[in-house]
Amino acid sequence: MIAVLVAILGLAACSGSNESADDTSNEIDVTQLSLEPEPGTDRWYTEEQVSRGKEVFAANCAGCHGQNAESTPDWKSLDANGNYPPPPLNGTAHAWHHPLSVLKMVIEEGGEPMGGVMPGWDDTLSDQQIVDVIASFQSYWPDKTYQLWLEREQSNRGQ
């Protein structure tokens, strides 16, 4: 009986460590994503990523940031609680100033580390979903804004 129990616990421990390895393999280091233009978007992301990202954005982000990442008209003015409303992510606010690593971090950890109030999504969204969401809102950025962001991203990477 003890041998069976030890075998079961041993299998459970192996199973747990495999799950942990699987979780790690699903992590995406955005600093390693290729910035080469993809066919169909001429940007670092694919049309499929944008499509998936828009679904995730609609379900989780649009309530605050607007259906098309446009946010609210008065996003630069403090609200009744003394906080700034969610900014637009469509290229008309400051999101384009940030590298992929910061955009991903803010989505994962929330806005608090940067002085905001957005909740973190790391317990809700996978790394792939987060990358897809970034692709979705970057798809709204005008070409000029995207090119300025790309230059900053390449500079951050030392390219």
Tokens 């390219």, residue?
159
How confident is the prediction along the chain (159 residues), in pLDDT tens digits per residue? 333 333 333 333 333 333 333 344 589 999 999 999 999 999 999 999 999 999 999 999 999 999 999 998 889 999 999 999 999 999 999 999 999 999 999 999 999 887 889 999 999 999 999 999 999 999 999 999 999 999 999 999 998
In this prediction, residue 159 carries a pLDDT of 87
In this prediction, residue 114 carries a pLDDT of 79
Contact 60, 124 (CB under 8 A): yes
Tokens 């309530």, residue?
63
What pTM, to 2 d.p., does this model score?
0.83
In this prediction, residue 17 carries a pLDDT of 32
In this prediction, residue 31 carries a pLDDT of 96
Domains annotated for the chain, with CATH where assigned, are 29-156 (1.10.760.10)
Tell which residue, 124, 104, 100, 123, has the closest CA to residue 113: 104
Tell which residue, 54, 156, 66, has the closest CA to residue 102: 156
